[in-house]
Structure 1
Amino acid sequence: MLQNMDNNKISLTPINLGRGYNLYTCGESIDDLYLIVQGGIKLTTSAHSGKECILDICRRGDVLGALSLIPSVHEESATAMLDSHVLRFNRREFVRILRNDPDLFEIWSQHLAQRIRERESTIKHLVTMKCEYRLAAILLDLSQRFAGHGPQWQHIDARITHDEFAAMVGTTRSRIGFFLKNFSCRGLVKRLPDGTLLINSVTTSEFLATDPNEEEAVLQPMA
């Protein structure tokens, strides 16, 4: 997408964000879109109680602010999970170019379709899976998005805390710790010294292929 935008000479404003800094916050007017060039951005919202819910974690190539194509406000906050580099571009200019560039329109349509598919998958996991299966599905998805499809062991290079995983899964911090310990015993994950995770895509996929509605409520460590 970046190449097509360069070809159309879209005005791009570079923005560098340190870990923990907001790109935008919930309720702000949407006037621009943001293309992630490097790093990772989490999208969060809060319940009336103040509890944070992580809606998604976006990586290189993702575009934030798609709702800017219609007059609206941000329904989530975007915060850097890693030192990140993004490019900001104006929605009106982007819409004008989309109308005249079939290739860019096709790329944009595919991007939106992929984002919708990911959101539908998230909803499905929340409705149909137990917590430990939701966590496994999230780990597998993040490993593929951070590292791409490739080796059996894939590295999630962002340090995601137990609190953040709990906000994604919809459970408690202590249960996340319990699940990760069991995943480690079963060979699904490895924790590196810097706090990041390696995910075994093969064993995690095999685990997800089992029946999530089995009577056994939680995993038991392997002997």
Structure 2
Amino acid sequence: MNTKVDCISCTNSNCIIKQNAMGEEAAPFLEKKLSLKAKKGQPFILEGAPVHGLYFVQQGKVKVGKTGINGKEQIVRLCHDGEIIGHRGFGVGQFYHISAVAIEDVVLCNFSTDTIMEMLKKVPSLCYAMMLFYADELNRSENKVKKIAQMTVREKVIDAILYINRKFGQTKNLLNIQLSRKEIADFAGTTDEQVIRVISSLKKEKILIAEGKKIGIINLEKLKREIAEHNFFLDS
């Protein structure tokens, strides 16, 4: 569903467009932006679909996935306000290599490939910021590959929970996002059963608590120490 979100009046200070493309040279391109809403559980990028530009999360939470071995989904990123989605297919291919689904009701901004390409040519500050963004993304990807190869199942689940905490934070000792055990497993690169076992163990050790499907961290420092040797803080 279309809804208009004006970049000039937008208060989303985390958005790379808001930070770097508010000058006169960017104004004609901002007018071409589309604003969209997606309901909880609704996909707005399908893996293998033709690329139709970049998405920016104006408000809400999104999971970005990729099909792995035997058709199993792997959640590769969790996104919130201001983050970019669809950038890995931008400029290098005709099809998206990921899928994107709203975890909760979300407002999205979409710039077509042509519009973004022209804006990058005309707005140097945005071009430089995007270059740094891609360099940071590459660094995170390389670190994640190394960590996954070296971690035990317990460490993978702990790493995923710490990532979720850094990304979304907690309110009243519960994480500010509700993910199923399967979604945590798809992000950690393990199985539902293993996630359930690890969470149960961490609850018995009084490191985690759970209320329904939501979990919370009550001993953050102890959880960090479990995977300190893997430099968990590199992937924020």
Aligned match of 1:208? 227
1:108-144 alpha-carbon deviations (Å, 9 max, x no partner): 1222223223222321222110111011111111211
Aligned match of 2:45? 24
Aligned match of 1:2? 17
Q: 1:127 aligns with which of 145, 149, 165?
A: 149
Aligned match of 1:221? none
Check conservation: 1:82, 1:158, Cα contact below 8 A. no
1:105 aligns with 2:105: no
Check conservation: 2:21, 2:125, Cα contact below 8 A. no
CA distance in 2, matches of 1:189, 1:119: 28
1:90-109 alpha-carbon deviations (Å, 9 max, x no partner): 12221222123222122212
Most deviating of 43-52 and 70-79: 43-52
Aligned AA for 1:68? F
Question: How many residues in Structure 1 have an aligned counterpart in Structure 2?
Answer: 207
Aligned match of 1:85? 107
Percent pairwise identity: 18
Aligned match of 2:96? 74
RMSD: 2.4
Indicate how the Cα distance of structure 1 residues 5 and 122 shifts in structure 2: closer, same or farther if over 3 A, else same. same
1:116 aligns with 2:134: no
1:51 aligns with 2:69: no
Residue aligned with 1:107, SS? helix
CA distance in 2, matches of 1:15, 1:152: 28
CA distance in 2, matches of 1:156, 1:113: 29
1:197 aligns with 2:215: yes
CA distance in 2, matches of 1:210, 1:153: 29
CA distance in 1, matches of 2:43, 2:171: 34
Gaps of 5+ in 2: 1-15, 231-236
Aligned AA for 2:135? A
Aligned match of 1:96? 118
Gaps of 5+ in 1: 212-223
Q: 2:159 aligns with which of 133, 137, 147?
A: 137
Indicate how the Cα distance of structure 1 residues 38 and 208 shifts in structure 2: closer, same or farther if over 3 A, else same. same
CA distance in 2, matches of 1:173, 1:40: 22
